[in-house]
Amino acid sequence: MSLAELPLLFALIGLVLYTVLGGADFGAGFWQLTAGRGSNAERIREYAHHAIGPVWEANHVWLIFVLTVVWTAYPVAFGSIASTLSAPLFLAAIGIILRGTAYALYSGVQTAREGRRIDTVFALSSILTPFALGTMVGGIASYRVPVGNAQGNPVSSWLNPTSILLGALAVAVAAFLSSAYLSADAHRQGDAGLEQQFRWRALGAGVVSGAVALAGLAVVRIDSPTIYHGLTSGAGLVAVICSALAGLATLALVGLHRFGPARYTAPLAVAAIIAGWALAQRPDFLPGLTITQAAAPRATLIAVTVAVLAGAVLLFPALALLFQLQLRGRFDPGPPAAPGGHTGPPPDRRPGKPRLYAIAAGGCLLAGFGLLTIADAGWAHAAGVICLLAAIAFGVPATAPTTLADT
């Protein structure tokens, strides 16, 4: 692996995580849409919301990560893909807006009727987005995205057999992942009824995903022979077999109520198939453009690599903390602990020394004015900015907003 390929590896890892984590959210929307009516359906809908709550936003940032890494490290390829495949990209965007808005709205829902309305409108977007993103992958994998600004066919680049199949696969995998995770959550919370319902859904969606994937191989064989050849020989074949085994193992584990290990085999199946695609297409990025040719100048590749590695060092512990809190049930329903303490102003509160703070704030403001507005040197401007920020900081205790409320 060369430096030119390293950022692509990061982007593919991001794509795997987005498929697994963001996909689980879209899948939850799928089950909300298909829940039907009645009190049992309400429970399923309600439950699907709870499971994605605290981690929703983090899950969706993965897509932004993938986009930014690709356009920084492979700008020409990004421009070509986004312009030729602008239609599915736009559809995915609309779906993402609707889904995110639904998430924001749900915290204000008061009646089941309101919840159902919001769900029905927005769950459609949970199918639209993974389908559209899947068709984009299909367009790239079947070599239908030439280099250049909108040089490909705006319709057949994403409405072709490979694309439609991968779009359907993305929807099915999302439904599978979310039902497996929701079943595991219900298991943890001791709700046997919901666990059972989501377990059956997981098994059904898993079988469908496997069937679509198998059908996919047949379609790809006719529609995109280069990828088919890559997937059926060498490292690509190993990846496909890994994916199939991991998928079967996940089905078996869910069937046996062993949700812990299933949490890890499910992403493995996704990761293996994405790796298979990458290996099958390597070294090509787009027709007539290899990964090395597409790569940005060396200084940019180094900067991106350093930024991603440094970011990972900071983020993965934080992400682990979030998931740990979520999976250990720290965010599960139940009233939060009251803070204790008293209400009303404490008897011993003194106003502090607002006068002194006011003098400090005024002094800093004057100094800031002199250094930033009158003086011309760069260092003076820097010092002036610091003075002005200090003036604001001193201004808060000088104004003592909390004492205003007591009057």
Partner 1 sequence: MSSSDYLVAARQMQALSFAVHIPLVCFGIAFPAIILFVEWLWLRTGDELYWTLARRWSRVLVALFAVGVVTGTILSFEMGLLWPGFTGTFGSVFGLGFAIEGFSFFAEAIFAGIYVYGWGRLSPRAHFAAGIPMAVAGFTGSLTVISVNGWMNHPTGFTMRDGQVVEVRPVEALFGNSYFWHELLHMYLAGYMVTGFLLAGAYAVGRLRGRWGRYERTALAIPLTIAALAAPVQILVGDWAARAVATAQPVKLAALEGLGTSTAGAPVHLLGWYTHGEVHYGIAIPRLLSLLASHNPSAVVPGLDSVPADSVPPVNVVRIAFQLMVGVGSLLAALGVVFLIFQARRHRLPKTRWFYRALVAAGPLAVLALLAGWTTTEVGRQPWVVYGVMRTAEAVTGAGGIPVGYAVLALVYIGVVAAVIWILRRLASTPLAPLDTPPARTMTGLR
Contacting partner 1 within 50-89 (CB under 8 A): 53-58, 60-61, 63-65, 67-69, 71-76, 78-84, 86-87, 89
Q: How far is the CB of 138 from partner 1 (least distance, A)?
A: 17
Q: Does 327 bind partner 1 (CB under 8 A)?
A: no
Residue 321's identity, in one-letter code, is L
Q: Per CB under 8 A, which of residues 223..252 are in contact with partner 1?
A: none
The burial of 348, by beta-carbon neighbours within 10 Å (0-12 exposed, 13-18 middle, 19 or more buried), is given as exposed
Contact with partner 1 (CB under 8 A): which of 300, 327, 363, 367?
300
Residue for token digits 């088919």?
Answer: 228
Contact with partner 1 (CB under 8 A): which of 24, 44, 251, 308?
308
Q: Does 350 bind partner 1 (CB under 8 A)?
A: no
Residue 95, H or E segment: helix 86-106
Q: Does 105 bind partner 1 (CB under 8 A)?
A: yes
| Rounded Cα distance, 306 and 299, in Å | 11
Q: Does 344 bind partner 1 (CB under 8 A)?
A: yes
Q: How far is the CB of 223 from partner 1 (least distance, A)?
A: 23
Q: Per CB under 8 A, which of residues 377..406 are in contact with partner 1?
A: 378, 381-382, 384-385, 388, 391-392, 395-396, 399, 401-406
Closer to partner 1 at the Cβ: 190 or 340? Answer: 340
Task: Name the token pair of 102.
Answer: 């639904």
Q: Per CB under 8 A, which of residues 172..191 are in contact with partner 1?
A: none
Residue 299, H or E segment: helix 298-327
Asked if residue 301 lies in contact with residue 24, where contact means CB atoms within 8 angstroms, the answer is: no
Task: Name the token pair of 394.
Answer: 């001193």
| Rounded Cα distance, 281 and 227, in Å | 6
Q: Does 116 bind partner 1 (CB under 8 A)?
A: no
Q: Does 347 bind partner 1 (CB under 8 A)?
A: no
Contact with partner 1 (CB under 8 A): which of 94, 211, 222, 359?
94
Number of residues this chain uses to bind partner 1 (CB under 8 A): 108
Phi, psi of 170, deg, nearest 5 = -60, -40
Task: Name the token pair of 332.
Answer: 């599960």
Q: What distances in angstroms separate CA 373 from CA 80, 299, 358, 366, 390, one per listed residue?
A: 46, 37, 22, 10, 16
